Amino acid sequence: MIEEKVLDEPVKEKPPVALSKSTMKRFAINVASLFSVNVANMLLPLLTVPYVVRIIGPERLGLLNFSQAYVAYFTLLINYGFDTAAVRAIAADRHNKSLVNQIFSEVMTGKALLWVLSTIIFGAITYFVEEFRAQWWLHVCTYISCLGIVLFPIWLYQAMEDLGRVAIFNTIVKVLFTFTVFIFIREPNDYIYQNLSLSIAQVLISVAAFVVPCGGLI
């Protein structure tokens, strides 16, 4: 009888867990940060693209885009899925500093080794293939951005839910790039400076982004 009575009792549902103010604040900051990144990525090119096309012409603009597409393959190789796997591993226990430090070291080492491999492949293709060798200096200027891919631990910021800094770094890169385009591109032969300025801005901000987690996030 006692067992039947216990079984007949209605199961009490647990009240929903209310999100803390800090969690809601972090969520709002992350959403606003992603929004600002998309706005910067869409609006700032509207200032530079018409100017660049007018100065260098559509043919040279095509060379710039081709070089970026060429280097994008090496970017994929360097990333090697770290941006997904590392985020998942750290997010599962991001308060465990020893685990975060271990993953940080492993990912940075892996990216550095893949960058060396990519550089060898890039150098071989650019030198031995005539079509690439004709614009080798442009491709080198574009490839410099791969250093930024190695150093920028965006996956760590995502795992630590610190997208506000990602938005700041992204905005700084876009603003620096916009200023350098208007300063250095004055005639058609200056077209090479567009990819070079973007690469240098990316590397500088990546160095800053690399130093920040070493000093605070991990």
Sign of the CA dihedral running 48, 53, 58, 64: negative
Statement: residue 197 has pLDDT above 60: yes
Angle at 10 between CA 8 and CA 13, to 5 degrees: 155
* Domain locations in the chain as residue ranges: 63-217
Angle at 100 between CA 26 and CA 72, to 5 degrees: 80
pLDDT tens-digit profile of 149-187?
A: 999 888 888 888 777 777 787 788 888 888 888 888 899
* pLDDT at site 83: 82
Rounded to two decimals, the pTM is 0.80
Name the token pair of 95: 């308060």
pLDDT band at 64 (very low <50, low <70, confident <90, very high): very high
Q: Where are the alpha helices (DSSP H) in 95-162?
A: 97-128, 130-133, 136-143, 145-151, 154-159
